[in-house]
């Protein structure tokens, strides 16, 4: 067993623990944060079913972003859709046997080329932070570093797909082994190790970064509230306790 294999096995165990526990902690905090005011962004749905539909459009289509800025919507949607397809294709490294829908040839081919959409979207979003004055003013170093990290993940992954092919069988054996708490040899490929190191870094910083907007959108009171202030008095749980 090489030192590199042991290092990456330990790295992914630590990164996974930080990601899972960190996300669970933040989601718990979001769920417990009081929302004392009824503040849905209007026009807002007046039923729970309408709220579910609205959240679905927001998560899948980025409806509010589309209405506010078409250019940012194009780059943001390109990145997120490309990332979703790429991640779906990556499921094959964590399954045995692989689901039929994942192993389907069209899905695998789409996953390869979706990486171009993902990186193109990221480059557009990064360029915005340089070219738009009001966005450049509020941009911090962490914003640049996160975008650079995501682009690095995309480019190293594309490099292994289109430039220097890695041992995907050996990689799958390594990943499946980690899921069973077994450490199998990791292919000695510099590009693969760079890719895995960047992915592990993303997993570690995710619970403490602006990337938390992913789960956070579901707890936004301007999106998840029913517009019924005339029909029902809105009281946060803590306020209800005070009235007793």
Q: Where are the alpha helices (DSSP H) in the chain?
A: 3-32, 48-61, 63-68, 70-90, 100-103, 105-131, 133-138, 141-162, 168-179, 190-205, 213-216, 221-224, 237-243
What is the average pLDDT across 30-55? 90
- Residue 242 reports pLDDT greater than 90: no
pLDDT score recorded for residue 92: 93
pLDDT score recorded for residue 43: 87
Tens of pLDDT along 157-201? 999 999 988 999 999 999 999 999 999 999 999 999 999 999 999
Please provide residue 220's backbone torsions phi and psi, each rounded to the nearest 5 degrees.
Answer: -75, 115
pLDDT score recorded for residue 174: 96
Smallest Cα–Cα separation from 8: which of 149, 198, 169, 152?
Answer: 198
The tally of CA atoms less than 13 A away on the side-chain side of residue 239 is 9
Alpha-carbon torsion 82, 88, 93, 98, what sign?
A: negative
pLDDT score recorded for residue 239: 64
Hey, which CATH number is domain 38-238, 3.90.226.10, 1.20.950.20, 1.20.1070.10, 2.40.50.140? 1.20.950.20
Banded model confidence at residue 229, pLDDT cuts 50, 70, 90: confident
The whole-model pTM stands at 0.90
């Amino acid at each position: 067993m090489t030192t590199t294999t042991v290092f990456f096995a330990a790295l992914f165990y630590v990164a996974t623990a930080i990601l899972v526990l960190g996300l669970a902690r933040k989601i718990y905090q979001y769920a417990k944060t009081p929302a004392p005011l009824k503040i849905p962004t209007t026009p807002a749905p007046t039923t729970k079913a309408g709220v579910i539909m609205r959240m679905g459009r927001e998560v899948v289509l980025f409806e509010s972003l589309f209405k506010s800025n078409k250019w940012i919507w194009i780059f943001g949607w390109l990145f997120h859709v490309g990332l979703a397809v790429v991640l779906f294709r990556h499921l094959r490294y964590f399954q045995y046997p692989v689901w039929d829908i994942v192993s389907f040839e069209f899905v695998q081919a789409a996953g390869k080329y979706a990486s171009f959409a993902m990186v193109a979207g990221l480059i557009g979003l990064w360029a915005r932070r340089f070219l738009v004055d009001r966005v450049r003013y509020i941009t911090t170093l962490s914003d640049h570093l996160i975008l650079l990290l995501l682009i690095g993940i995309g480019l190293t992954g594309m490099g292994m797909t289109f430039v220097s092919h890695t041992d995907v069988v050996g990689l799958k054996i390594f990943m499946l082994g980690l899921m069973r708490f077994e450490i199998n040899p990791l292919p000695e490929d510099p590009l693969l190790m760079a890719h895995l190191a960047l992915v592990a870094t993303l997993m570690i910083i995710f619970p403490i970064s602006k990337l938390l907007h992913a789960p956070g959108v579901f707890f936004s009171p301007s999106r998840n509230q029913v517009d019924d202030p005339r029909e029902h008095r809105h009281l946060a749980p803590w306020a209800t306790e005070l009235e007793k």
